[in-house]
Structure 1
Amino acid sequence: MNMSELLKNVCEKYKRSVRENPDTVGQIETTFRLLSYVIAGRLRNAQVLSELMYTSSNLLVFLNDAILKQTAKIIPKVSVSQERLGQLLTVLEYVEVFVEIAASKLWGEVGKWIVIATIQICKATLRFYLLTTYQHGIQPMPPIAPLDRQLVSKKNKEAQQLTEQEDSEQGEAGYRNGFSGPMTFTLKRSGKVMRKISAAPPLGMRTWAIPIQTDTRSGRRKDLAPTPLSRQRMWAETIHIVKPIVHLMSMYGFGLSSWKPWLISCGMDISSLTMMGDPADLNPNERGELRRRTFMLLYYMLRSPFYDRYSQAKIIFLLKILADNIPGTSLLIRPLLAYLPTWQKVYFYVWSA
């Protein structure tokens, strides 16, 4: 057995284990994420390891979701090229923090900022291409959200129950070896639902009941089509896309400690949200993304130089009060206090949103 066959067998076994044990897989993913939090605040010089574990947990969820989607026959309602661009963007979102920290360790500050600029340019280019070429509309972050596994599992069980009920009522021979298309049709004038002759079960098992049409797509997630954007909203989304590039350029031009990059970025975020206007005509996913962007304005309190001059002392003071006066919270807050200075200096943690 050569190496390619060995890898193929390993991949097939892994896919089978994910399909057969989704709950166990979910527990492993959660364990990876929790360990990344524990390591971050308790081990010295463990920042790279902590970020590696956190990134691995996200990529593991992404991979397992893809396997479960394939099992549940969840087919994206977009072209293959658009889906691949979304996958690439999602992977970039998941690995960017780890890549930044690793670049800082390997190549210093200069290498770190080169990597940051390269990733932001790639992300902005891909997002702009999706916006202009595929009319992707308001783009979420990450572009491909984690799969709602409980909903998929529930719908798969419902589909299985319907199939079993159908088999028991219609007979296995009638549908497994014979008709596999739609079992009914609707009369145009009366609207009455009738069974097709070709869909009739064996003579001894016929009933007058209308057969239940099994929906083979019942495990699919309801993917809402993007809302066509007006000219103003196109400009608003464009401002949101190019904001990271403008912010990096302003940091390079005015310096890391200047207020100008902070003010420019904040102004662009507020302008983008204002230009979007009333979100009532947007679909639920897009309204949720705009709510997320609005909430992320609070991050400006954690971004330098505002954090360094105003909010740092207040946040640390509040966390210490909680850790000293609420039993049990110190187990979480103490590591957070130890990791907060490092977290605040990582560009992709603070500015990526």
Structure 2
Amino acid sequence: MVLTVIQYTEVLIEMGVQKKWGQQYKWRVITALEAIKAAGRLSLLRLTSQRMIMHPIHTERDVDPSTLADLAEAEQAVKESHWTGTRTGSTRLQLSAVLTPDVVRKPRDLVGKLSGLGAIGEYMFILRPLIYVLAMRKYGQKSWYPWFLSLAIELASRTSIKQCLSSRPSGGGRGGSGTVLEKDELKRRLWLLLYYVLRSPFYDRFTKERLHNFCESVSKKPLISLVGGIVRDYQPLWESVYFYTAGS
């Protein structure tokens, strides 16, 4: 619950603290929030017997409630999940339409336990944001050291976890590379690597100028200019608000 609240309010908290007390207090609050999140995730890792931490932490609906109002589609889905014999006219439920490995698997088996390098990799992923913030406070936001350190931890974590998952026996929906939930989480973490192009000093050295040139080149083109306008609107946030590109 605490982790969810922080994740939904951290940007607002950072902007409020920066406006009221300035940069110095802002980084203290950021460090405190990252420490709280790391402590919470470490607790979850222990409580779940070293299983990969999923995102979001709170449960989500598998079905959009708005789709339940469409009775026609629901009726069609029921028909497709049944088989009717041509000779006898009897109806049978198709098990393939309702039974999947994730349906019959116990909840605790939807995410497997991590061991060895996999567990170390998950610890690294959890602690990475806090280490990154502490490194930035020590070496400065313009230093390459925190950027490379964070990226190295991220890549090492991903490699360790993937190696652990691939060493599991295949079958039961795992395919030797993790369950469906684990694969989805790894994909999400892969997308998080894109944030590195929006973090200083890489952003200041390479990305910022290219984004500016892109916005200028599309400023007078229909439709595409809307994209350039959105990029321009978000640029100040990428440059000044840590949690917009934190990926934590």
Q: Does structure 1 retain, via aligned residues, the 8 Å contact 2:139–2:146?
A: yes
Distance in 1 between residues matched to 2:49 and 2:228, nearest whole Å: 44
Structure 2 counterpart of 1:302: 198
Residue 14 (structure 2) aligns with: 100
What is the rounded CA distance, in whole Å, between the counterparts of 1:145 and 1:324 in structure 2? Answer: 44
Provide the aligned C-alpha RMSD in A.
Answer: 2.9
Q: Which moved more, 1:307-316 or 1:148-157?
A: 148-157
Residue of 17, 35, 40 corresponding to 1:121: 35
Shift of 1:235: 0.3
Q: 2:144 aligns with which of 259, 279, 291?
A: 259
* Gap regions ≥5 residues in structure 1: 1-86, 162-208, 213-220
In the TM superposition, what are the counterparts of 1:145-294 in structure 2 within 5 Å? 146-150=60-64, 153-154=67-68, 225-278=110-163, 279=165, 280-294=176-190
| C-alpha separation in 1, matches of 2:228 and 2:50 | 40
State the alpha-carbon separation in 2 of the partners of residues 231 and 154 from structure 1.
44
Gaps of 5+ in 2: 76-89, 94-101, 166-175
Indicate conservation of the 8 Å contact 1:344/1:350, yes or no: no
Deviation at 1:148, TM superposition (A): 4.2
How far the C-alpha of 1:155 sits from its partner, in A, is: 10
How many corresponding residue pairs? 209
TM-superposed CA distance for 1:105, in Å, is: 0.8
Residue aligning to 2:170: none
Cα offsets for 1:34-91 (capped at 9, x unmatched): xxxxxxxxxxxxxxxxxxxxxxxxxxxxxxxxxxxxxxxxxxxxxxxxxxxxx32122
What is the TM-score with the length of structure 1 in the denominator?
A: 0.53
SS at structure 1 position matched to 2:64: helix
SS of corresponding position for 2:26: helix
Contact map agreement 1:250 1:261 (CA 8 A) in 2:
yes
Query: Could you state the TM-score of these two structures normalised by the residue count of structure 2?
Result: 0.74
Of structures 1 and 2, the larger Rg is shown by 1
Which amino acid counterpart does residue 112 of structure 2 have in structure 1? T
Rounded to whole Å, the distance in 2 between the matches of 1:152 and 1:282 is 31
Partner of 1:230, secondary structure, is: coil
